[in-house]
Structure 1
């Protein structure tokens, strides 16, 4: 299967080249790499132009991160879609090969794996693991979700059930995966492998104020999909991340 890997970025000159190289160095080669830049002014575009023969990129103002992701989805021609952030990189060169093999073996519409967080100043220092575990639909009621950037989904599912909602500011990834897996019963399989490395302290973990906004949007995600969480579902979702500080591979 052909993959489409999408990165959205803005003023990311300090990290984007590592991201690009971690994608281009994958042993699995049947993919296109799409970068959606929000009109960077810091030299990011100069770096993208260095790789213009190996990637597809556009640089223009957007309406936010999820609008940019939707631009990438509209350009994508692969059968499987994966996202990688401009601050992130693959932990090994065989990630896409392993994900492709899992799709071939398990015949599901989605594959997801584990994620690790590293010190932003020393990316060799791992500070947190997100070990996700096998897929059980009922786990959503216990605050579970797969890591967004470790989540690979067939394009046909996006075509059937829609893209990211741009009326969300920070939880459209949660809403999309909830809509796909929980509401529409899209099949998924867990790949027990670290498939993404993320610098700690990104947008989704920025502050308690941000976390409160995310909690409100998480609640909105259930409501607009006519789904009912348990009373503790959306309180336990952020609290469960504390255990990631103590789980090591």
Structure 2
């Protein structure tokens, strides 16, 4: 089973090496690593080129933003399964992709997801938030649930059947895509109960109250775009779940 990992980056010279090393250091042998750069000017391009053919596909050119770059990566991907790891982030350990593939093989699922931790942007040993996704039950999106996007791996056939990221959403395109795949089209899903992704703080939708309000509006649009109707409390519960994550602690860790 070939796995395509896609990293998108723009002027990420300070963090992208950690990301690249965590993918290239994976124990699973059949990885196609695709890096899509938006035309960086800070030394990112030169850094990435140091890795030569260890990176399967590398393109650097202007794009229309994060999700446009992700879509470019999807179109280039030739793997059976597709996953994303952004330039600020890294895998928790060297067996992440191996464990994800094992779960796909064990369950035959269309998608596999797991847990994530958010860390301080400048000190990745300082954990700020723990995203324990938990097992999925049909209808959980109505209760504000969603998996962490970077922990979510889906078969390429799912993207072929149900589409890519919408470019008319700024911060909720990942939410809309998973809502479409999981809630609307009922792809089969399996939970891998371990922390696989380390994310540095600083996401677009969480930076301040204004962005949070806009993100909530886009979440509502995501339901409308798919002809779906949330409960009256669905879009209130979604951000409240993030507050709960501030007080959660990992029960186990994988070295």
- TM-score, normalised on structure 1? 0.98
Q: Distance in 2 between matches of 1:165 and 1:220?
A: 11
Q: State the match for 1:3 in structure 2.
A: 3
Q: State the match for 1:130 in structure 2.
A: 131
Shift of 1:44: 0.2
Q: Distance in 2 between matches of 1:179 and 1:52?
A: 36
Residue deviations 1:79-133 (CA, integer Å, cap 9, x gap): 0000001000001111001100000101100000000011111111111100000
Q: Distance in 2 between matches of 1:226 and 1:206?
A: 29
Residue deviations 1:54-88 (CA, integer Å, cap 9, x gap): 11211100011111000000000000000001000
Q: State the match for 2:153 in structure 1.
A: 152
Q: State the match for 1:68 in structure 2.
A: 69
Q: State the match for 2:90 in structure 1.
A: 89
Superposition map of 1:1-249 within 5 A? 1-55=1-55, 56-249=57-250
Q: Distance in 2 between matches of 1:214 and 1:230?
A: 17
Q: Distance in 2 between matches of 1:73 and 1:207?
A: 30
Q: Distance in 1 between matches of 2:235 and 2:244?
A: 16
Residue deviations 1:148-178 (CA, integer Å, cap 9, x gap): 0000000000000000001111101000000
Shift of 1:141: 0.6
Shift of 1:138: 1.5
Q: Distance in 2 between matches of 1:181 and 1:206?
A: 27
Unpaired segments ≥5 residues, structure 1: none
Q: Distance in 1 between matches of 2:67 and 2:173?
A: 7
Shift of 1:208: 1.5
Q: Distance in 2 between matches of 1:204 and 1:89?
A: 20
Q: Distance in 1 between matches of 2:205 and 2:52?
A: 29
> CA RMSD, aligned part only?
0.7
Bigger Cα displacement from structure 2, 205-214 vs 146-155: 205-214
Shift of 1:139: 1.1
Shift of 1:247: 0.7
Q: State the match for 2:253 in structure 1.
A: none
Instruction: List structure 1 segments (4+ residues) > 6 angstroms apart after TM superposition.
Output: none
Residue deviations 1:215-247 (CA, integer Å, cap 9, x gap): 111101101111110000001101111110111
Q: Distance in 1 between matches of 2:31 and 2:48?
A: 18
Q: Distance in 2 between matches of 1:82 and 1:218?
A: 22
